[in-house]
Amino acid sequence: MADSTPIDTTPPAATPDYGTTEPLVGGSVNDADVVGAWKADVFGCFSNLWPNCAMSLVCPCVSLAQSLHRVGIYTYQTTLAVLAFLYVVTWAASYMVADLSQGLGTSSPQSMPWTELLVLTNIVYLVFVITTRAKLRRLMHIPGSYLEDICCSFWCQCCVIAQMATQVDAYTAGECNFGPKDTLPGYAV
């Protein structure tokens, strides 16, 4: 005996294909952008001395802020304010350590809290660079490990900062610009 249930012949409602249409902040729609690999290796900063290498060496806070703004992780102003605060605290702590240890050849008991603050601010900055590289690596689907991020950031922070700036195209070759570029549009995964 035949099944008497009616067959629905209406076309299914259009459902979005979220794997191809939902934007993901942190990528680029430009086919020329490299996703899944670094555009430059860690020491690739030497291929573009001005402004990338110079900016990451002399003004790393600006280069980091530009890169983070470019991928939409943090705003340029927020990143710059946080890093400026860290730099001011680091400078003040190192000044106090030098002032209180003057002529002693070693640190004095009075300089110990300032020495601890100096070490702490440097650790916070290092962790910030490490986590920034790890986030960018994840957003751009670049293979690697957290250990690699730690080692690269510890031994050559300016090179890592320049590598991230190259990856997100945070600078224009030959132009030294202290402002941010527009945030990259999202890309489909």
- Considering its fold, how many domains does the chain have in total? 1
Please report the pLDDT score of residue 183 as a whole number.
Answer: 74
Check pLDDT > 70 for residue 8.
Answer: no
User: Average pLDDT for residues 123-146, to the nearest whole number?
Assistant: 96
Is-contact 126 60, C-beta < 8 A? no
Distance CA 40, CA 47 (A): 9
> pLDDT band at residue 129, thresholds of 50, 70 and 90?
very high
Lowest mean pLDDT among 6-15, 17-26, 64-73, 92-101: 17-26
Q: What is the 3-state secondary structure (H, E, C) of the chain?
A: CCCCCCCCCCCCCCCCCHHHHCCECCCCCCCCCCCCCCCCCHHHHHHCHHHHHHHHHHCHHHHHHHHHHHHCCCCHHHHHHHHHHHHHHHHHHHHHHHHHCCCCCCCCHHHHHHHHHHHHHHHHHHHHHHHHHHHHHHHCCCCCCHHHHHHHHHHCHHHHHHHHHHHCCCCECCECCCCCCCCCCCECC
Q: What is the pLDDT of residues 10-21, one digit of tens each?
A: 555 544 443 333
In-domain check, residue 143: yes
In-domain check, residue 31: no
Is-contact 188 24, C-beta < 8 A? yes
Domain that holds residue 67: 38-167
Distance CA 114, CA 101 (A): 11
Distance CA 177, CA 157 (A): 20
In-domain check, residue 129: yes
Please report the pLDDT score of residue 127 as a whole number.
Answer: 98
Check pLDDT > 80 for residue 73.
Answer: yes
In-domain check, residue 29: no
